[in-house]
Structure 1
Amino acid sequence: MPYSRFSGSLTSPKVDVVIDMGNPFLNLTVDGFLKIGAVAATRAAAEDTYHILQKGKGNISSRDFEKMLKKMCKEGAYWGTVAGLYVGTEYGVERIRGKRDWKNAMIGGAVTGAIVSAANNNKKDRIAMDAITGAAVATAAEFINYLT
């Protein structure tokens, strides 16, 4: 019986920007900030564009554009900072421990979750829950990354 088979791979284009700050810690932190910050800003722009189109206006006013730009900057800076903090913390833990494993991601996620929560003036119970959540998400992401 004849059969056919599809073989190949589907990959997305990879764009990588390298900024050399002269220190691996700073390089990774800035890289994380820029990459995740750009993703967050793009998400904010897409979300606001959708809402503008959903209103049925068809065109964008200068007020809408200014609001969108402010949201893009705010979201990009916030999520870029969180990503930079996480990447820097994970790298620092790796250097201190002298090992590269999932525990670095767990510790980096916990520290990042706690710092971000404390910066938002949360109570200590909420800070502990956010640290646990950060550790769980970072560890799960590390395991998923290992599987692929």
Structure 2
Amino acid sequence: MPRSRFAGSLSSPKIDVVIDMGNPFLNHTVDGFLKIGAVAATKVAAEETYHCIRKGNVSKNNLEHSLKKMCQEGAYWGAVAGVYVGSEYGIERIRGTRDWKNAMLGGALTGALVSAASNNDKNKIIMDAITGGAVATAAEFINYLT
């Protein structure tokens, strides 16, 4: 019986934009903001393109709505990423070590801050802090495995 095999590797192109703010903490924070903000804006652009194609019409109103939504989502997720990356880096500098605990603490701090900015329910803030810490820790472990 014939057999075929696929060997090789897939990699995505790497784009790195460096903005020197004169401080490593600010550099990391701005880098996180820009990268994740661009991903969020691109996601919205793809979704909005699909909706326009599905509806069969493109108007100035649709375009303005799409651009506004891209900016909002990009700014929101960029800000969340900036807070996370900055807090993780700051914790790393304070603790003097680089490990999964920095991700856990940075995720928990980010989850709590984002939640506190959007509501006043203390239980929700605590739950979001736990979720942020868990997601960041899981991502760190997955990153370590690959």
User: TM (normalized to structure 1)?
Assistant: 0.94
Partner amino acid for 1:125? N
Q: Please, which runs of 5 or more residues in structure 1 have no aligned partner? A: none
Q: Which whole-Å deviations, capped at 9, do the CAs of 1:66-101 have from their partners, x for residues lacking one?
A: 000000000000000000000000000000000100
- Equivalent position SS for 2:25: helix
Counterparts of 1:22-37 in structure 2, within 5 Å, are: 22-37=22-37
| 1:44-59 matches, cutoff 5 A | 44-57=44-57
Deviation at 1:26, TM superposition (A): 0.5
Which amino acid is 2:84 matched to?
Y
Deviations 1:37-92 (A, max 9, x none): 000011111111111111122xx100000000000000000000000000000000
Using the alignment, how far apart are the partners of 1:122 and 1:15 within structure 2? 39
Instruction: Show structure 1 runs of 4+ deviating over 6 A.
Output: 1-4
Answer yes or no: is 1:146 the counterpart of 2:144.
yes
Corresponding letter in the other structure for 2:73: E
1:91 alignment partner in structure 2 = 89
Match of 1:66 among 54, 64, 67: 64
Fraction of identical pairs, as percent: 77
> For this pair of structures, how many residues does the alignment match?
146
- Find the aligned partners of 1:136 and 1:44 in 2 and give their Cα distance: 26
CA distance in structure 2 between the aligned counterparts of 1:68 and 1:4, rounded to whole angstroms? 45
2:115 aligns to what?
117
Quote the RMSD (CA, aligned, Å): 1.5
Residue type at the aligned position of 2:45: A
Partner of 1:19: 19
What is residue 75 of structure 2 aligned with on the other side? 77
Gaps of 5+ in 2: none
